[in-house]
């Protein structure tokens, strides 16, 4: 065919179109088989999420338990300082000072022991670490605090009351 001449079919080369039609049919077959596979895979993502939920819950549980351990340790430190302050002002009141310093839900599991060391008092506070998993024992958080003993009694003139 001569350059610039027009063809009866609108100028299209049919041999090229046949090749395109074959590749279109081949792709169409792939699309149909993919659709068939997709039908069998329906719900696969939901099953995968169901398998992942226990792992996610365990990680969340471990994070909350770690927070409880840190909170119990912080409360033990607060109890030890409050007990030492109380025992330095009035000997024998360390346990009361410890119990008043911690949260109400931990107060029943808090114990303090005081020891006078010359002109100082050392108080050791123990707080039982709460557990989210029944049967697991995480022990106790223990902290110590030392305060100097107060020289003047509370009822003496110039003491804490007057």
Q: What SS3 string covers 90-149? A: CCCCHHHHHHHHCCHHHHCCEEEEEEEECCEEEEEEEEECCCCCCCCCCCEEEEEEEEEC
Q: What is the pLDDT of residue 62?
A: 92
Q: What is the pLDDT of residue 162?
A: 45
Range of the domain at 119: 45-148
Residue 25 located in a structural domain: no
pTM: 0.64
How many domains does the chain contain in total? 1
Q: What is the pLDDT of residue 16?
A: 61
Residue 58 located in a structural domain: yes
| Max CA distance (Å), the chain | 127
Mean pLDDT by groups of 10 residues along the chain of 162 residues: 60 60 58 59 80 92 94 95 91 89 87 89 93 89 92 57 48
């Amino acid at each position: 065919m001569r350059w610039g001449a027009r063809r009866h079919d609108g100028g299209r080369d049919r041999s090229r179109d046949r090749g395109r039609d074959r590749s279109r049919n081949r792709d169409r077959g792939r699309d149909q088989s993919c659709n068939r596979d997709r039908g069998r895979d329906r719900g696969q993502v939901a099953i995968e999420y169901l398998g992942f939920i226990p792992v996610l819950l365990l990680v969340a549980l471990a994070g909350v338990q770690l927070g409880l351990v840190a909170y119990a340790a912080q409360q033990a430190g607060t109890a030890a300082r409050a007990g030492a302050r109380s025992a330095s002002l009035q000997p024998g009141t360390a346990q009361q000072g410890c119990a008043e310093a911690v949260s109400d839900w931990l107060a029943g599991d808090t114990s303090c022991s005081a020891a006078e060391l010359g002109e100082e008092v050392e108080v050791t506070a123990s707080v039982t670490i709460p557990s989210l998993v029944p049967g697991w024992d995480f022990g106790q958080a223990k902290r110590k605090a030392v305060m100097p003993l107060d020289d003047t009694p509370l009822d003496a003139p110039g003491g804490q009351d007057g």
